[in-house]
Amino acid sequence: MHIVIIGGGFAGINLAKALTNQKGITVTLVDKNNYNFFPPLIYQVATAFLEPSSISYPFRKFFAGKKNLQFRLGELIKVIPNENKIILNNGELSYDQLVFATGAETSYFGMENVRKNAIPMKTLNDAIDMRNTLLKNLEKAAICNDIRKRRKLLTIVVAGGGPTGVEVSGMFAEMRKSILIKEYPELDTSASNIYLVDGGEALLSPMSVASQQDTLEAVTKLGVVVKLNTRVVDYKDDTVFFADGNTIQTKNLIWAAGVTAREFEGIPSESYGRGKRMLTDAFNKVNGTTNIFAIGDTCLQVTDINFPQGHPQVAQVAIQQGLNLADNFKKLLENKNLKPFIYKDKGSMAIIGKNKAVVDLPKPKMHFKGFIAWMIWLFVHLMSLITYRNRINTFYHWMIAYFSKDQSLRMIIRPDKRIKEEII
């Protein structure tokens, strides 16, 4: 059985790992990048507290020595289901079973100016671009004598009150207090503001009320201006426009407000549901197909009695679906009954700043905050990294940052061909 996996995120890589050295099964993982990366720590690369290699690892190195696993660099163009074939931008592949683990991409809710001008927070490339953009704006502000222009360069608006928005705004607030004053003596940091805006009534809306209240209190104490029930409707001419008519002048709108899945040519339109996610049965088989599966963020599965509207688009769902599907592929070879997917909720968490985090555990129902929650967050995220090398590297940088309240990774790195056009 030849299984082709499209996408090497949490879902795809865990499916491939679980099928390592499985007799009768060969796996080809296809990804447009040649590396796996850890999205929950993207913001720490973007804020220069981790280097990209701390949260990423090459697929080919990871697959080395695993005889039944292969990697193919490429981007999916279309599927031809009646021929069991996919077309890539650099060739084609045949399959016996096809698995979509393509995750989700940033959604701008149809706002073209936001798409063009905001700073996304979804991929490793986004993180590096964001780091470069913010560092360049700091350098511009350091030599700017116009207080209004300087304020726009220093002001940061983070759209989206989920874990990413909370974590990145908290990180910026701590950097403003401990780093900018030392490294940019030319700047009056009082001219800067950090806004965290969300269209809902609370930060971290999927978490407990206790976590929401603790988070609001913690980020506010850090100096972040939180604006709830505030929806972005446009961003142009260095101005963020809100639905209530208010505006904020800034050159830094960080977009962490929404995600959407992707549609692919060859997959029937009736196989898609809310947010362009593929509708699947209890075994993750895409509706209207015979040997095509979807797992992770790109999957909308409404057969789980505990999640009739579909599972949340979080890492644990992707990991568990990948492992369950791997087990079912093994059962297929042995002509055994397949196991329906049932999500085991292990809780949710978010870090706010140094020694500040919130954690909700479902069974038993418990809520943690402060230092204990912060330690839980660090441990879970450290152990979730794909290799020991990533864990050691990340732990090393975290310890430096913890004891020094700083990091030395704030370099603007860009290809030579772009330097001339990007010089400030």
Whether pLDDT at 424 is above 70: no
Return d(Cα 319, Cα 315) in angstroms, integer: 6
Residues of the chain with CATH 3.50.50.100: 112-259+348-417
Region class of 254: left (phi > 0), else alpha (psi between -120 and 50), else beta:
beta
pLDDT in tens, 15-46: 999 999 999 999 999 999 999 999 989 988 88
Q: How buried is residue 149: exposed, middle or buried, by Cβ count under 10 Å (0-12/13-18/19+)?
A: middle
User: How many other C-beta atoms are found inside a 10 Å radius of the C-beta of residue 24?
Assistant: 11
The string of DSSP codes covering 287-325 is: TT-SSEEE-GGGEEE---TT-TT---SSHHHHHHHHHHH
The average pLDDT across 394-400 equals: 83
Global pTM value: 0.90
Per the prediction, the chain carries an average pLDDT of 91
pLDDT in tens, 149-159: 999 999 999 99
pLDDT at 419: 44
The average pLDDT across 82-94 equals: 96
Return d(Cα 76, Cα 91) in angstroms, integer: 10
SS3 368: strand
pLDDT at 49: 81
For residue 399, which of 53, 163, 46, 49 has the smallest C-alpha distance? 49
pLDDT at 230: 95
Asked if residue 175 lies in contact with residue 188, where contact means CB atoms within 8 angstroms, the answer is no
Q: Provide the sign of the torsion angle of the four alpha carbons 329, 307, 312, 380, taken in this order.
A: negative
pLDDT at 365: 87
Whether pLDDT at 384 is above 90: no
Residues of the chain with CATH 3.50.50.60: 2-32+74-104+261-333
The string of DSSP codes covering 49-88 is: SS-GGGSEEEHHHHHTT-TTEEEEE--EEEEEGGGTEEEE
User: How many other C-beta atoms are found inside a 10 Å radius of the C-beta of residue 27?
Assistant: 27
| CA angle at 119 for the pair 278 and 47, rounded to the nearest 5° | 110
* Catalytic residue check, 167: yes
pLDDT at 70: 96
Whether pLDDT at 122 is above 80: yes
pLDDT in tens, 130-170: 988 998 998 999 898 888 999 999 999 999 999 999 999 99
CA distances from 251 to 18, 212, 224, 234 (A): 45, 28, 17, 13
pLDDT in tens, 198-230: 999 999 998 999 999 999 999 999 999 999 999
Residue range 112-259+348-417, CATH number: 3.50.50.100
Set 92, 112, 139, 167: catalytic member: 167
Whether pLDDT at 87 is above 90: yes
Q: Which CATH class is domain 2-32+74-104+261-333?
A: alpha beta
